[in-house]
Amino acid sequence: MATVASVTKDSIIGDVIRDVPGAVDVIRKYFGDGCFTCPGINVEQLSFGAMMHNVDPDRLVAEINALSAKGE
């Protein structure tokens, strides 16, 4: 598994799910389960997903980065 230095709003959703342990739970919390069957998961950025689900992208990124920091 690759180590992500820092997740940003420009990070691809699928990459974040693959690379950050626990990110799947954060994505599910804010975006729901539909994200996991959407073909856009491999091209769409966290900022786009946040916009589509009316979520503050900074809050989402901060929560994912907190997970990433725990794993180091």
Q: Indicate the pTM of the whole model.
A: 0.85
Per-residue pLDDT tens over the stretch 24-59: 999 999 999 988 898 999 999 999 999 999 999 999
- Is residue 72's pLDDT more than 80? no
Q: Which amino acid is at 20?
A: V
For the residues 9-27, what does the mean pLDDT come to? 95
Q: How far apart are CA 47 and CA 69, in angstroms?
A: 20
Whole-number pLDDT of residue 35: 85
Q: What is the pLDDT of residues 61-71, one digit of tens each?
A: 999 999 867 76
Asked whether 62 and 20 are in contact (CB, 8 A), the reply is no
Joined together, the tokens standing for residue 22 give 């626990």
